[in-house]
Amino acid sequence: LTSGRTLDTNASFLAGELRRLGGRVDEIRSLPDHLPVLIRTIRELARGRQLLILTGGLGPTEDDRTRHALALAAGKPLRLHPPSLTAIEERFRRSGRTMTANNRTQAMFPASSSPLPNARGTAPGIRMRLGSCRLLAFPGVPHEMKAMWESSSLPLSRELGRRALRLRRLHVFGLTESEVDRRMHPLMLPGRDPEVGLTVQDSVITVTLTSASRTRIARDETLLRRLLGRALFGTDGESLAVVVARLLGRRRQTLALAESATGGLISHLLTEVPGASRILLESRTVYTEGAKRRLGVPAALLRKHGTVSEPVTRALASRIRQVSGSTWGLAATGVAGPSGGSQTLPVGTCFLALAGPEGVRVAQPIFTGDRSQVKRRAALSALDLLRLSSGG
């Protein structure tokens, strides 16, 4: 597996996917835009391997050199593929943009290779062989690459003819990495099947079980569910927002938000979920005192306790619930930083309030990190408060 040029999430995505198919990744390399290096490396990496995947370098510009490198590495000329040209022209026509001469290059392919259609962008991929090695070249844009991978992975898995590994991911919120690690200790013996891995991103901890046996994965999942309890919120890529939207949807409950510290992020995360309009009645980013007063928080309350305080956050949650007529009202205030902190309210201090049919619940976490992280952690904690209160 070689990643030409862009070395971002593509390489780790493909490595995970190949692993799932029972493959083993020998090497990942990042290459410069230099044609002789590209040709030499493609030849070297293809030798003795079953599969070489390249990403990036298929765009229309001068420094997109993957197609030339592949042609030269294989000693084949580049030829125009008329159906691909038509598809590119059609795409430009539909979006109303003007096609330039260099987009035409994207319809050129090394002789005896096949184009891989790209439903999401202009650059088709390339499939070919170099000796006994299969070569796949995908565009570098992650979502285009992923969509093309989806459509080429099934036949690939058949061709490679390995025994597929199963992966199960369990997502955890509200525990530290060390705490999750401690609880999982019985499962982490070396050489054990399933293999257990642990990664963290944005305060969400993911436990990955890998095995060829569905039964063993199910057995360990049952054990983990007991060890992790309600901190385990979802599986296989589900976000907290997806889980919360599903919970509320099932119970025909609705939500309204009053976001100060989180600045619209909770609303953004929820509206990433298709169908969010059925549960999110309204959300206000009430950054200023004026906006808080317009929502109906009494000026006296703001004066007495200050914006970042439990009483004001309670009032925000209750008011937005009342105004929108939703089942739940969720509010977040805090000091996101970098400035604005004080002795009593250091940067990272947040108040979260959830108003519901049975009153208001409040949490007062303190987050570390920069402005962007404080916002993100506060937003996820607010969603988690809602999840736990609505029975998730």
**C-alpha to C-alpha distance for 261 and 89, rounded to whole angstroms:** 46
# residues contacting a second copy (CB under 8 A): 82
Helix (H/G/I), strand (E/B), else coil: 372: helix
**C-alpha to C-alpha distance for 210 and 16, rounded to whole angstroms:** 11
User: Which of 247, 249, 240 lies closest to 275, judged by CA?
Assistant: 249
* Centroid of chain to Cα 35: 33
Contact code string over 93-132 relative to a second copy, x by CB under 8 A: --xxxxxxxxx----------------x------------
**What minimum distance in Å lies between the beta carbon of 230 and a second copy?**
18
Q: For residues 249 and 278, is the Cβ–Cβ distance under 8 A?
A: yes
Binders of a second copy in range 211-230 (CB under 8 A):
none
Binders of a second copy in range 1-60 (CB under 8 A):
6-9, 11-12, 15, 25, 27-30, 33, 59-60
Q: Return the amino acid letter for 120.
A: R
**Which letter does DSSP use for residue 261 in this model?**
T
**What minimum distance in Å lies between the beta carbon of 197 and a second copy?**
6
Binders of a second copy in range 294-323 (CB under 8 A):
294, 323
In the list 153, 157, 271, 389, the residue contacting a second copy (rule: CB under 8 A) is 271
**What minimum distance in Å lies between the beta carbon of 173 and a second copy?**
14
**Which letter does DSSP use for residue 231 in this model?**
G
Q: Is 274 among the residues that bind a second copy (CB under 8 A)?
A: yes
**C-alpha to C-alpha distance for 109 and 125, rounded to whole angstroms:** 9
In the list 71, 145, 266, 353, the residue contacting a second copy (rule: CB under 8 A) is 266
Taking the least distance from each CB to a second copy, the nearer of 76 and 371 is 371
Binders of a second copy in range 332-391 (CB under 8 A):
336-339, 366, 368-373, 375
Taking the least distance from each CB to a second copy, the nearer of 97 and 304 is 97
Largest Cα–Cα distance in the chain? 79
How many of the other CB atoms lie within 10 Å of CB of 50?
Answer: 14
In the list 83, 131, 197, 229, the residue contacting a second copy (rule: CB under 8 A) is 197
